[in-house]
Amino acid sequence: MRTQQGLFAGIFGRGGVDTGDEAWLQAMLDTEAALARAVERAGLAEPGAGAAVTAVAQASAFDAAELGRQAELTGNPVPALVRELTRMVPPGLAGAVHKGATSQDIIDTAAMLLAREALSALAADLTATAAAAAALAAAHRDTIMIGRTLLQQAVPVTFGLVAAGWLTGLDDAREAVARVRAGRLAVQFGGAAGTLASLDGDGLRVAGLLADELGLALPVLPWHTDRLRVLDVAGAAAGASAILGKAARDITLLAQSEVAEVREGDGAGPGAGPGGARGGSSAMPHKRNPVGAVALLGCTRQIPGLLATLAASAEHEHQRAAGAWHAEWQPFSDLLRLAGSAASWGAELLAGLEVDPARMRRNLDDARGLPLAEHVASLLSPALGPTAAHDLVARASAQAAGHDQQLRDALLDTPDFRYQLDQAGITAEQVESALDPARYLGSAAELVDAALAAHAAAEARLAP
């Protein structure tokens, strides 16, 4: 699903998050209409005023580009919007338009409405991505592969554990998104300086009715210069993008030609290359580019900078900020859009991921047993002591690496090493057992099971 148009929308505007001009405009109009209904309910407007404003508060009836041009005169588009909206309402009912509000009330509340829809769409795609990660973790619970630390081969792990790592991060991100959506989206209504003075003693009542009309929380105070709600929304979306980016980065590395342990599904469609498969190259037909993972990373790499801008803009002076509030609008919109696009890519990427267990085992075997050196040293330690065991295995490993030799052969066929093994009472069968990667997976299987159980519990908590 693509919610926005443009040259790069196929990459950066996928999924259900819409923060484009029309979405913003409709959210502002929804706020104005709800305010008109609220002031009518409070007895501060003529009967029918709320319905009259609501009837004309449709984005399709307004020219967003023209409102943007008029914003040059006032610093934001709300005054022009209010003038146009007032003109469209019957004169006797127009007094309900924007009553008691300031421009920031309308834009901030609209931002909360956009965030509510954006977080819902983000949550849906995160749920689908988590389901795909859970399926991978379960299917490959015992699929052995080489672990890698600092981009170097380490000790054996399972692909199920790799996918379980993605899964727990995704579930944590889903919890954070749900928590913010449920508890941190609040109406903004404070008037010129946060006192609601223009409504005399009716301000708090109107604020409560406005919150009720929009289904948003009523804050203790107007939050014109307290931007933690904006940061909470942005932080939840940025956290989700971080775990999505981690999974995508793993996939790009595992999909390298020299590694080839996973690859993206064919995914024929708008991104398809020659022959109909996504990721093809006309100049290099041997290539299978991980387009989904690359596009996802293209989204997530932009988000930290946007989050930093929002954090830097959270310092607002006195009762209303001079510029810091304005600096939020585009980064907030872009961050939500990019996080939503990343989640949309993630759901498709993990659902279609192709795993090659045979290649994983071949890459592990090509390491000639060296990743199991730690296990062999632990076998020798009781008899030789930790230091002597480490030194013996280190010298045997160096010999194996230098002579393109299996670690097993270096240990068992080199007289000096074999003598020390014999003296320690270590048999060839014990050495071979210690070099079996399936015997050095620790609690990997149990950790996968724990992640899957936690995911099932998260599904129950987060169910609609």
- 357 and 438 Cβ atoms separated by less than 8 Å: no
CB atoms within 10 A of CB 71: 16
Q: Tell me which CATH code domain 102-359 carries.
A: 1.20.200.10
According to DSSP, the residues that pair with 190 across neighbouring strands are none
Mean pLDDT of the chain: 94
Q: Tell me the CA distances in angstroms from 279 to 6, 270, 294, 314, 407, one per residue in order.
A: 21, 11, 10, 41, 39
| 281 catalytic residue (yes or no) | yes
100 vs 199: CA distance, rounded Å: 6
Q: Are residues 392 and 380 in contact, defined by beta-carbon separation less than 8 angstroms?
A: yes
Asked if residues 139 and 426 have their Cβ atoms less than 8 Å apart, the reply is no
Domain 370-434 has CATH 1.10.40: yes
Task: Name the active-site residue from 2, 41, 320, 418.
Answer: 320
Task: Please report, for the chain, the start and end positions of each structural domain, with discontinuous segments joined by +.
Answer: 102-359, 370-434
DSSP letter, residue 217: B
Report the distance separating Cα 372 and Cα 418, nearest Å. 18
| ∠ CA 276-273-260, rounded to 5° | 95
Paired with 217 in beta bridges are 186
Residue of 86, 174, 187 whose CA lies nearest to 133: 174
What are the φ/ψ torsions at residue 228 (nearest 5 degrees)? -65, -30
Report CA 344 to chain centroid distance, whole Å: 10
> Is residue 362 annotated as a catalytic residue, yes or no?
no
Active-site choice (69, 198, 281, 461): 281
Closest CA to 278 of 289, 294, 293: 289
Full pLDDT tens readout for the chain, 464 residues: 556 678 999 999 999 999 999 999 999 999 999 999 999 999 999 999 999 999 999 999 999 999 999 999 999 999 999 999 999 999 999 999 999 999 999 999 999 999 999 999 999 999 999 999 999 999 999 999 999 999 999 999 999 999 999 999 999 999 999 999 999 999 999 999 999 999 999 999 999 999 999 999 999 999 999 999 999 999 999 999 999 999 999 999 999 999 999 999 976 444 444 444 566 555 555 567 999 999 999 999 999 999 999 999 999 999 999 999 999 999 999 999 999 999 999 999 999 999 999 999 999 999 999 999 999 999 999 999 999 999 999 999 999 999 999 999 999 999 999 999 999 999 999 999 999 999 999 999 999 999 999 999 999 999 88
Q: Coil, strand or helix: which one is 385?
A: coil
SS3 105: helix
Residue with tokens 């936690």: 454
Give the SS3 label for residue 369.
coil
Rounded distance between C-alpha atoms, residue 463 and residue 150, angstroms:
38
Contacts of 134 by beta carbon, 8 Å cutoff, 6+ apart: 163, 167, 452, 455
Report whether 105 contacts 190 (CB < 8 A): yes
Residue 51 contacts residue 42 (beta carbons within 8 Å): no
Residue that is written with structure tokens 């007032």 in the block: 86
